[in-house]
Structure 1
Amino acid sequence: MKNKTFGSTLIVAGTTIGGGMLAMPLTSAGIGFGFTMVLLVGLWLLLCFSALLFVELYQTVDSDAGIGTLAEKYYGTFGRVVSTAVLIIFLYAILSAYVSGGSSLLAAFLPTISDAETTTRIAGVLFTLLFGVFVIVGTTSVDAVNRLLFTSKILAFLLVLVLLLPKVSVENLLEMPIDNALLISASPIFFTAFGFHGSIPSLNKYLDGNVKALRISILVGTAIPLVAYILWQLATHGVLSQTEFLQILEKDPTLNGLAEAAAQITGSSIIGAVVRIFSALALITSFLGVALGLLEALDDLLKRVNIQANRATLGAMTFIPPMLFAFFYPQGFIAALGYAGQMFAFYAIVLPIAMVWKLRSQYPTLAYRVKGGKASLLTALVIGVFIVIVPFLIEQGLLPKVVG
């Protein structure tokens, strides 16, 4: 079990350190380093709290139960339908963002085929097929490849820091936000930076319902990304000024554009290459965890309506829609993450709070209960609902659009 706990911790960390992290420098361009830190720590506390609520919930069901099964237990068929729909839409949106981001990065390594657009589309197909097979095989396969990739990612990340941190400018770090309200506008996108919750059912099943092991995996697995995010923001905000950020977004608002900017501003082609490698590894590990969660969610849905599907069929249902999104919308990385953040706020905050509220009245003597009582549940609920409506406030012009 200790070995599985370690593997599960790395899956949490690997899923988390991915697309959301890579989008941070692009979406926080107008916020500044200090305010970005406030947003990061606040969202980490919120999402770690909500993840532990799922641990509390899983004490009352079988270890292989999906989120839809949990919701049905407390809110009947309506709960299952709503929770399953939101979860699947969220996972499809974020997986589409990862395939889109992966296409952009992989295309930079491929020779140009016909034209740049065609090359990017082929890169998206190759990216999905190459890494989707591990998800189709199963969680054990994902665990094994994730350990290798996660280790490589950490080494690449450390190399990025070694190359970038000496070039950090204190003046850049002290820059104030262009607009303080951008802190709120960026929250749905930053929200996904700690988004591994869709993988919790797979992890709980993998750990055979061991509450302690799942709790450790969540606490340690999210602490690792928090430290990494702070260092990543320190490096990128310190090297690139807000003006340079804005120029990047005008030219190429993709991960490849960020890598090019790091190379140009620092005058080092090595930095650009290492940033690309790190970005690719971060996307792949995140892709694996999210895809695994989506496949399990689809499996849970089909079983509920008495449809038996093999892993190959589930794999096709999991990967074809995101691949088509990347095919027809190759620069949709930021847009997909923003939409995913909106769905994720409901799934990761509103839903577990609603279920735990009923759980505690029905099971007042459970062995494990998240601290904070009703006050913490209500506070988290208000924040979660507000993040859900942020995109609507932006559309109405009540909040500024996130730069990029």
Structure 2
Amino acid sequence: MRDSAPRSDNMPKASLFGGAMIIGGTIVGAGMFSLPIVMAGPWFFWGVAVLILTWFCMLISGLMILEANLHYPIGASFNTIVKDLLGSKWNVINGFTVAFVLYILTYAYISASGSVLSLTAINEFGIHLPAKIAGTLFAVGFAFVVWLSTAAVSRVASFVLGVKIVTFVLTFGNLLGHIDPIILMNSNDVDASYLPYLLMIFPFCLASFGFHGNVPSLVIHYGKSPKRIMAALLLGTLLALVLYIVWLICAMGNIARVDFKPIIAAGGNIDHLIAALGGVNTANWLNIILLIFSNFAVASSFLGVTLGLFDYLADLFGFDNSPLGRFKTALVTFLPPIVGGIIYPNGFLYAIGFAGLAATIWAVIVPALLSKQARIRFKTSTFTVWGGSTMIYFILFFGIINIIAFILSNLNLLPIY
């Protein structure tokens, strides 16, 4: 398959590993902490089955964006493609859902940071720091970094990512060494029921595979080389899927299914999960590593999401890059989620669910419609997602299932474990 539009061949080949890391790094973040909590009902095997289905559908929807993107000049944004193929109304809907996802995730990470910092303050320093105050301080501190410059964010993000990787390896290595197969398979509960809780986890799994805004960036990175971009998307999403499954093994192999009930009853925030995991080993330094990992995982996700939201709002409102302009942007970026974190500090799990609902629009339904319309508009293509119209309708059906699951869950029409 050869591209009609140039890349060129004179340009040095961009690293496949680098592109995969962009995708994998975008996907894996603090949202992973929600997975074992929401999957306590269907438990490990059914939860992993939905996770794999979600991975497949999100990969295909990402490739559908690529299919549409390749008909446009390199550098064309997601919004440009949506507006041209689907019209202004869909572009407004798409823009709103993107902003909503970024806002709700900013709030979710403020909520998560508050609970984790509060737990850290109590466990390590004996200081009682209310979660809402801790979350506010966290947000204000990082808002200052974002206000300074993108370069400042990059330097802080590099440090945060480095610490996260080191503590990630140490944390997972420790937890994997304490897995109990009886706990993981829930063997002691012979009358356990799993399927009634299956539908509610769909939006949370969907929210855990958000990378679609990066597809146009990969086109810039690689040029119009669909095979390399497809390989980067496949490797990056597979990396995230494997890490999620390992994380579920670690959590569900150390915490019994019944012990998730008090975590869920307390709102499902990260601090309760971390406290439960911290109890599987008496070595204090390992508990400290777990706390450091959770703090830096939240910080890493927070920086990535808020920088994207900051740039989006600066463009939307026309704020310039001067100190005053950046201050205005920082204000509209951080103030609403900070106020939300003060009013409702324990909304991490609910926020991830809402993010899944909004992400269904721009990461599932819109890509399927883009692919459908691109095939009507353009008679020739250098890349077409396999499966024909059947695959398009399958992805749309997957999106509808996620929306139905979210609505039924919030109307309390689905069983809660």
Q: Normalising TM by the smaller chain, what interval?
A: 0.7 to 0.9
Contact 2:113/2:135 (8 A) holds in 1: yes
Query: Is 1:250 aligned with 2:261?
Result: no
Contact 2:267/2:347 (8 A) holds in 1: no
Query: Is 1:86 aligned with 2:86?
Result: no
> Match of 1:73, as an amino acid?
D
Shift of 1:358: 0.6
Question: Partner of 1:153 in structure 2?
Answer: 164
The CA RMSD measured in Å over matched residues stands at 2.9
CA distance in 2, matches of 1:295, 1:262: 34
CA distance in 2, matches of 1:295, 1:206: 21
Of 273, 289, 303, which residue of structure 2 is paired with 1:288? 303
Q: Residues 64 and 283 of structure 1: is their aligned pair in 2 closer, same or farther, counting only changes over 3 Å?
A: farther
Contact 2:114/2:138 (8 A) holds in 1: yes
Of 391, 394, 402, which residue of structure 1 is paired with 2:406? 391
Identify which range, 391-400 or 220-229, moves more after superposition: 391-400
The structure whose Rg is larger is 2
Q: Residues 356 and 205 of structure 1: is their aligned pair in 2 closer, same or farther, counting only changes over 3 Å?
A: closer
Shift of 1:79: 1.6
Question: Partner of 2:358 in structure 1?
Answer: 343
Query: Is 1:189 aligned with 2:223?
Result: no
Contact 1:108/1:256 (8 A) holds in 2: yes
Shift of 1:136: 5.3
Q: Residues 157 and 308 of structure 1: is their aligned pair in 2 closer, same or farther, counting only changes over 3 Å?
A: closer
Q: Residues 275 and 349 of structure 1: is their aligned pair in 2 closer, same or farther, counting only changes over 3 Å?
A: same
CA distance in 1, matches of 2:198, 2:149: 39
CA distance in 2, matches of 1:20, 1:301: 27
Question: Partner of 1:381 in structure 2?
Answer: 396
- Say how many residue pairs are matched: 395
Query: Is 1:278 aligned with 2:306?
Result: no
CA distance in 1, matches of 2:371, 2:338: 36
> Match of 2:171, as an amino acid?
V
Contact 1:259/1:273 (8 A) holds in 2: no
Q: Secondary structure at the match of 1:167?
A: coil
Partner deviation per Cα, 1:75-130 (whole Å, 9 max, x = no partner): 2221221111111112211221112112222233447999643xx33422332244
CA distance in 1, matches of 2:163, 2:337: 26
CA distance in 2, matches of 1:61, 1:317: 32
Aligned residue runs from structure 1 range 2-401, under 5 A: 7-110=18-121, 116-117=129-130, 120-132=131-143, 135=146, 145-175=156-186, 178-201=193-216, 203-204=217-218, 207=221, 211-212=225-226, 214-251=229-266, 253-302=268-317, 307-310=318-321, 312=326, 313-401=328-416
Consecutive unaligned residues in structure 2, runs of 5 or more: 1-11
CA distance in 2, matches of 1:256, 1:362: 51
CA distance in 2, matches of 1:53, 1:137: 36
Contact 1:68/1:301 (8 A) holds in 2: no
Shift of 1:298: 2.8
Contact 1:189/1:341 (8 A) holds in 2: yes
Q: Residues 251 and 81 of structure 1: is their aligned pair in 2 closer, same or farther, counting only changes over 3 Å?
A: closer
CA distance in 1, matches of 2:22, 2:158: 8
> Match of 2:172, as an amino acid?
L
> Match of 2:108, as an amino acid?
A
Contact 2:36/2:252 (8 A) holds in 1: yes
CA distance in 2, matches of 1:159, 1:284: 18
Q: Residues 217 and 95 of structure 1: is their aligned pair in 2 closer, same or farther, counting only changes over 3 Å?
A: farther
Identify which range, 346-355 or 259-268, moves more after superposition: 259-268
Q: Residues 261 and 269 of structure 1: is their aligned pair in 2 closer, same or farther, counting only changes over 3 Å?
A: farther
Identify which range, 380-389 or 49-58, moves more after superposition: 49-58
Shift of 1:210: 5.2
Contact 1:58/1:209 (8 A) holds in 2: no
CA distance in 1, matches of 2:220, 2:139: 24
Higher helix residue share: 1
> Match of 1:227, as an amino acid?
V
CA distance in 2, matches of 1:59, 1:285: 31
> Match of 1:243, as an amino acid?
V
Shift of 1:300: 4.6
CA distance in 2, matches of 1:327, 1:154: 30
Contact 2:183/2:252 (8 A) holds in 1: yes
Shift of 1:397: 4.3
Q: Residues 62 and 123 of structure 1: is their aligned pair in 2 closer, same or farther, counting only changes over 3 Å?
A: farther
CA distance in 2, matches of 1:114, 1:282: 22
Contact 1:87/1:347 (8 A) holds in 2: yes
Partner deviation per Cα, 1:161-204 (whole Å, 9 max, x = no partner): 22112221111121276441211111111211112324445x34
TM-score scaled by length of structure 2: 0.84
> Match of 2:119, as an amino acid?
A
Contact 2:83/2:91 (8 A) holds in 1: yes
Identify which range, 144-153 or 39-48, moves more after superposition: 144-153
CA distance in 2, matches of 1:284, 1:3: 28
Partner deviation per Cα, 1:10-32 (whole Å, 9 max, x = no partner): 34322311122111121112222
> Match of 2:387, as an amino acid?
G
TM-score scaled by length of structure 1: 0.87
